[in-house]
Structure formats: C-alpha cells, structure tokens
Amino acid sequence: MDEQELRSLFSAAPPDAPPPAFTRDDVVRESRRQTVRRRNRITAGVSAVALVVVGFGAYGVLSGGTPESLTAAKDNAAPAQAGSAQPGDGSMRPQVGGESPNFPAQPPQQGGDGDGKTGPLAEGASGCEQVDGELAIALAGELPGHSATQAVPGGACSTASRSAGFPVPGGEVAAAVYPKGVPVAFKSQPAGTVTAQVGTASGGVLVLVSVPSAGAPAPYAGQVDQFAQDLAPRF
C-alpha cells in the first residue's frame, strides 16, 4: 500500500469523538432532582388520598350518617338486649326497696306546688311538725291579710291534734283540732294567753289560742271566742 492509499484511508476514517457536553457532577445532580421529584409525587398522592378520606368522614358526620360497622354492632346487640328485657319499660316499674321514679315521694300536699314537692301544708296531718292544710285555710279566712302558705304548726298543737297558726302583730294566733275521745293536752302558754275551746261537728274539740309577745297584749283577744265558734262547725 503506497502513501497515497494510506492518506485516502485516513481521510475516510471518522473524526475523533467530540468532547462530552456534561460531566459526572451533572449526572449526579440530575439523579438527585429526579429522586426529589418522585418523592414529591408520592407525598402529593398520599396527601390527596388522606384529604378524600377526611372529606367523606366529615360529610358522614354532618349528614347524620352512621358508619356500617357501628350499625352492625347495634344490630347484633339488639337481640341480646331484647332477650334480657322485662315486660314494660324499666322506668315504669317500681323499684324494689325504693321509690318508683314515676311517682313523687309523697303526694302533693295542700299548699305545695303540684310538681311532686311537698309544701308546708298537709290535709289531715297530726302532730307539731306539719301544718294541717284544711285548718290553715279556715284560720286564714278569719285573719285578714293572711295566706295558708304562711301557716306554722302553732302553740296549741299536740301529737294527736291537727294544728295551724299564724304569726300576727303582737304575737301568734293558733288553732288545734282534737279528735273525738282524745283529751285536750298541749304545752303551757305564756302569761296573758287567751284560750277558747269549742266542740267540733265530728265530736272532737277545737282549741284556739292567742299568744302575746313579751310585754304585749294578746292579739285579737276580744275575737278569740268568735273565731273558735266560726271554725268548730267545719271540723
């Protein structure tokens, strides 16, 4: 092969490769960018799914829906409760060893507010701890400006009698009704007390007393007998 042929071969050979347009550092940086992009896409997808789940949950709460799992649990519990229930609503059955929640502890007393709470009056009540409503109303009618709800047992009471009294200017006016056959017996009264006793329509005795405050005359002293005469036929 002569020199001319060699020169022709060399001229026909491809030229040297051009220098690379990027370096190793460029490759590393691009790889990192691609990795960050993939992570961002994954994070965005997870966030979108979470938002959808939260949105459906909020919609269920606001719309009053009940999750199926809770509905199923309720349906499964219903037969067991039905099997153990007793006839009638439990709140309607009297409690053993206690009081039924459907009835007040005591019937509404005269002078009470009618909602099961007892007031200071109880018709037919005996003793010195309760005011007899019927007697309080009758005595209040004899004393101007007094209401039966202001009554107190009064100083003429005993364990066997029905009683009612009212504080009045200058002392107290009180009445007691003793049943037929029961002797009249009540605590001693202060000096100056005016007392009247009249037989009742049922055969008992009505006692009416006007008890003065210290150093004062007995209130309504001149009307005590008349009060007793007016009250006795009612009992």
Instruction: Please give the pLDDT value at position 112.
Output: 39
Mean pLDDT by 10 residues, the chain (235 residues): 70 65 77 81 76 66 53 49 45 38 37 38 72 94 88 86 94 95 89 95 96 92 96 95
Asked if residue 139 and residue 65 are part of one domain, the reply reads no
Kindly state whether residue 210 falls inside one of the protein's structural domains: yes
Of the residues 33, 49, 73, the one at which a domain ends:
73
At 43, list the tokens: 């994070």
Asked if 204 and 227 touch (Cβ cutoff 8 Å), the reply is: no
| Residue (of 147, 151, 146) closest to 220 by Cα position | 146
Contact (Cβ atoms closer than 8 angstroms) between residue 162 and residue 124: yes
User: What secondary structure letter does DSSP report for 48?
Assistant: H
Domain count, the chain: 2
Please report whether residue 172 resides in a domain.
Answer: yes
For residue 145, being part of any structural domain is answered with yes
Last residue of a domain, one of 73, 92, 114: 73
Q: Angle at Cα 151 formed by Cα 108 and Cα 107, nearest 5°?
A: 10
Domain of 43 in residue numbering reads as 20-73
Residue located via tokens 């017996």:
185
∠ CA 152-164-149, rounded to 5°: 55
Tell me whether residue 86 is in a domain. no
* CA–CA gap between residue 124 and residue 228 (Å, rounded): 19
123 falls within a domain: no
Tokens of 17: 């490769």
**What's the pLDDT score for residue 76?**
53
Q: pTM for the complete prediction?
A: 0.48
Using alpha carbons only, what angle is made at residue 112 by residues 92 and 198, rounded to the nearest 5 degrees?
125
Give me the pLDDT at residue 200, please. Answer: 97
Residue 92 in any domain: the answer is: no
The span from the CA of 192 to the CA of 198, in Å, is: 20
Measured from the Cβ of residue 86, the count of other Cβ atoms closer than 10 Å reads 7
**Amino acid 191: pLDDT:** 92
Flag whether 96 is in a domain: no
